[in-house]
Amino acid sequence: MPKRVGGQVIKPQRLVLILALISILLTTTACSEGLPEIVAAQPVIDPFFKTFYDMLGGESVLGPSISYLFMYGERSYQYTLGALLGHDPNAPANQRFFLLPIGLDLGLSEPAIPPPSQPEGYYLGGHLVFDEFVPLYEKLLGKAVVGLPITEVHYNPQKKRFEQHFENLGFYRLQDEPPGSAHLLAYGAKKCGDMCPSQVSSEAQVTIPARVSPMFSPIIARLGSDFTGWPLKEAYTTPDGFNEQVFGNIVLIADPGNQGRVTLRPVTVRLGLSPDTFETPSTDPDFEFHRIQGDLGFNIPRAFMDYLAYHGSIDAAGPPISRYTQHREKVFRQCFLNLCLEQHLRDNYPPLIHPAPLGYTYQDQEVQAVLPAASQVELLPTQPDPQPAAPSDATQPVSESTANAQNEILLQVWERYPMVAPGQRQEIEIRILQGNLPVSQVEPDLIVELPDGLKKNYYMPPTGQDGQSLFQLEAINALNGTLISYQVCIYYPLGETNCVSDGFLVGVSP
């Protein structure tokens, strides 16, 4: 059966006939003119590929040629900005002209996702073709030329674009363009590299993600790469002993001391997103109420609940911490403990739901570069050293501020577990540095807000020679999904107080 998308039908018989006729025409032309064995004076599309190139849209779609025609054995090739054209004279007539699988060669493939519950999507080879890219995919003859999709659609905030990779081509649409716009990423330029001098606009440059750490592969396969986003950097070990990897939308951590238990970092807390006040249940049937405290909580769009159910349930996102509100024009957002979900309203297309790219913000924060597992605040800065800062000690983390002012005091705070089971004890640890050196004999105060709203004060032990102090909290019995906020404060003479706020989740990991 031919596939039907957007009311149009591509018949396989017609596709075979088109390619066969083009192949015969091009082969005849090549034979009559002679296959070019010597390169031309300038890298223009060789006459051998001209008809195939023009059939696919020519320079306006594939970009200009960036190499001369070259051969391996009997096969001929030529690079354009967006693709690598190929010809095999020994292939069946309808398969002699083709595009090379640059997307696969660049290692851009993601694990397959389950088929969608609604059959109207264009699901091929374990991935959905982004609905806005379907017209261009069909115009370029679909699987026969573009190949199968090898990723889901992703939002790239650094390039401000939506992008999706296929076996042979990459598609993108800029954030500010009308929905339905589509262009090709510069696959050819990326693959050919310095051997093919070319000018590639920033918006079309190909971004190669980092590798997913094997310890996180199972949960990525379960949640879906469209949910987690691409890995932004290799996995690393945090100062508090966790293995951590930052993805486009979330942050994953594994606890080596707990059989490698993997959880999601409460990134919204780390980024300082302030929780909204609770609301009462809505009567709008398009919303579902999530109860947090008594009869109060947050109303979540059913479309968000459906999205979360498809990606591992609300447990993966954590409890909501904000209301569903407008974030910017035609974009609505609601934040949860571990991520934020956005709904993009699109003209002529159904709303697009995907997580906000908080991982990019997380990795850019100073806390990420200094102590990925901790929150921190600069305390009581003194007069900076007028001389340039000395190189930092490689064995000690150092912030940009301490690199510029060696006498500033830095307070770092983290918890042993970002999520604890009901009844499990949590450990809060702090470290104080001055000029990149530990500060001892400082007694911090710890204030914990309990589920009933009461606050409990604790006195942490004085910091030791390593500048650290650890306190084990009493077990807290709370409902699954309860956020426990806490604050660590340092008091100085003359009444000055400096505090760091953070939080952890009571619940069961997804």
Give 14's contacts (C-beta < 8 A, 6+ positions apart): none
Structural tokens at position 292: 């947090």
Query: What CATH architecture does domain 374-506 belong to?
Result: Sandwich (2.60)
* Pairing of the two strands 455-459 and 497-506: unpaired
The CA distances from residue 309 to 178, 314, 356, 506, in Å, are: 29, 7, 17, 20
* Pairing of the two strands 497-506 and 419-420: parallel
**Nearest-angstrom CA–CA distance, 265 and 249:** 11
Structural tokens at position 268: 């919204």
Give 271's contacts (C-beta < 8 A, 6+ positions apart): 358, 361, 362, 365
**Nearest-angstrom CA–CA distance, 248 and 233:** 10
Give the model's pLDDT for residue 413.
Answer: 86
Residues in the chain with pLDDT values less than 50: 1-41, 366-406, 494
Give the model's pLDDT for residue 393.
Answer: 33
Find the helix or strand (DSSP H, E) in which 243 lies.
strand 243-246
- CA-wise closest residue to 405 among 374, 436, 368: 436
Beta bridge partners of 459: 445
CB-based contact 64:81 (threshold 8 Å): yes
**Nearest-angstrom CA–CA distance, 93 and 362:** 52
pLDDT in tens, 385-394: 333 333 333 2
Give the model's pLDDT for residue 119.
Answer: 66
**Nearest-angstrom CA–CA distance, 235 and 211:** 9
Any idea where the domains of the chain sit in the sequence? 1-208, 209-365, 374-506
Chain position carrying tokens 């906020």: 485
**Nearest-angstrom CA–CA distance, 480 and 420:** 10
Give 226's contacts (C-beta < 8 A, 6+ positions apart): 113, 152, 153, 154, 311, 354
- CA-wise closest residue to 456 among 481, 479, 487, 483: 487
Residue type, 198: S
Give 338's contacts (C-beta < 8 A, 6+ positions apart): 250, 264, 265, 266, 267, 268, 316, 317, 318
Give the model's pLDDT for residue 499.
Answer: 84
pTM: 0.68
Strand, coil or helix: 232? coil
